[in-house]
Chains A and B, each alone.
Chain A
Amino acid sequence: MTDVLIVDDNPIVRGALRGYLASADDMNVVGEAPDGRTAVTVAQRLRPDVTLLDHRMPVADGLTVVAQLAEHTSVLVLTSDAAEDLIAGMLRRGARGYLVHGEFEPPELLRAVRAVAAGQGWLSPRGASVTISVLRDQAAREREEASQADQLRQLRQGFGLTSRERDVMELLTVGHSNAAIARRLLLTEKTVKNHLHHIFTKLHATNRTEAVLRWSGGQGQ
């Protein structure tokens, strides 16, 4: 038996869902809630296997409570709102599935509830398409960031600084004065100046700003 909680502010929708789920032998509607806050209280108490969650509701909407609900139950979002941000937000906060009203036939609702109860997921066509593209964009961004970080690492290695000079350079980059660098590295200011002199030569820089710029991958003249 799969225990289901129905969360929707529209009593007609709740009634229709209850009636439909009741027609399946393996579904047991254990409760209903008209808003997000009530849903959290009920889910905490009843720990239903699956919660059908609408988004737009008074008091607290679905997105606000989905993470809390997900601690007690598997959340299957069932809403007419199919905005990309909402789909991504619900899934990031713990929803196991996303169904958009009008994109599925009744039998699919049962499959979705069963899938989510069994630890699988369920995404209606729009949910699937949004999720695929969000994940793909994210992976592309991460590859880009990784390759930039890699390039910067190589560039820095190319300058041939000693490890001490790197220490000085890193403190310089975050805006420390010579005196502050000296204190941090337990050096005299004169030694710091010496290191800076060598750093400027290796980085082909004539002043601190230019050195920082080059160390960060800039092309400053």
Chain B
Amino acid sequence: MPPRQRGRECVAELLDGHPSGTPTTVLIVHPDPRDRAAIRAELVASGRLRVVGVTGDRDEAVALAGRLRPTVSLLDDRVRAPGTDLVEALARWSLVIVLTDATERDAVVTLLQAPVQGCLVYGHIEPPDLVRAVNAVASGLGWLSPSAAAAVTWAMRASTPRPAHPGRGSSHLDLP
């Protein structure tokens, strides 16, 4: 078996949280205490993930991220930081997965302009997804729920040749 093939089997194992050296640490940033507890329980149950911080407060989230340097931060996008960009702040210290209600294609594509590695959309999250998303992102890859994947594949199709200015075509390239 060629080495690349073996590498990919490792990815599949990684997603399920098989042994991979140092444990992955996670910060949970979510406004609802019960959901926070549920997410924590699910991650902990995987046996390979360590939840190092849990908060619903944006300032505390940034402080915790800076202090604990979690591998991955799970951020519910209802936790907002007016004036500052919470995603940017968290992304300085960890890899960010955003949890959202957004299903509109434009909203999801806009959300992914921020430095996030994954997007889990409520209503499309099946039991193993949370853990697999964290493991995928921790191993340097990404994770998108089906509706988010639909949004980005749509954006990719629309991006031939240039997406952001649909009405404008490529006329701005004609500038002398």
* Interface contact B176-A125, CB-CB below 8 Å: no
Which B146-174 residues have a C-beta within 8 angstroms of A? 146-157, 159-160, 162-165, 172
Query: Inside 8 A of A149's CB, which chain B residues have their CB?
Result: 172, 175
Cβ of B27 under 8 Å from chain A: no
CB of B12 closer than 8 Å to a CB of A: yes
- State whether B141 touches A91 (Cβ < 8 A): no
Q: How many A-B residue pairs have CB under 8 A?
A: 132
Complex CA–CA separation, A77 to B77 (angstroms): 31
Q: Would A136 and B113 count as touching, CB distance under 8 A?
A: yes
B14 shortest CB reach to chain A, Å: 9
* Given A102-B11, A129-B141: A80 in contact with B5 (beta carbons within 8 A): yes
Main secondary structure of the interface of A (DSSP, over half): helix
Contact pattern, A 102-134, Cβ under 8 Å of B = 1, otherwise 0: 111100000100010011111101111111101
Inter-chain contacts of A127 with B (CB < 8 A): 142
Tell me which of A19-27, A30-38, A93-101 binds B. Answer: A93-101
> B155 near A102 (CB under 8 angstroms)?
no
Known contacts: A100-B8, A101-B8. The answer to whether A139 contacts B113 by CB under 8 A is: yes
Binding site for A on B (CB under 8 A): 4-5, 8-9, 11-12, 15-16, 109, 112-113, 115-118, 124, 126, 136, 139-144, 146-157, 159-160, 162-165, 172, 175-176
Interface, chain A (partner B; CB < 8 A): 80, 82, 88, 91-97, 100-105, 111, 115, 118-123, 125-132, 134-136, 138-139, 142, 145-146, 149, 152, 170, 173-174, 212, 215-216
Other than the given A103-B15, A125-B139, 5 more pairs (CB < 8 A) read: A80-B4, A97-B149, A126-B142, A136-B112, A142-B165
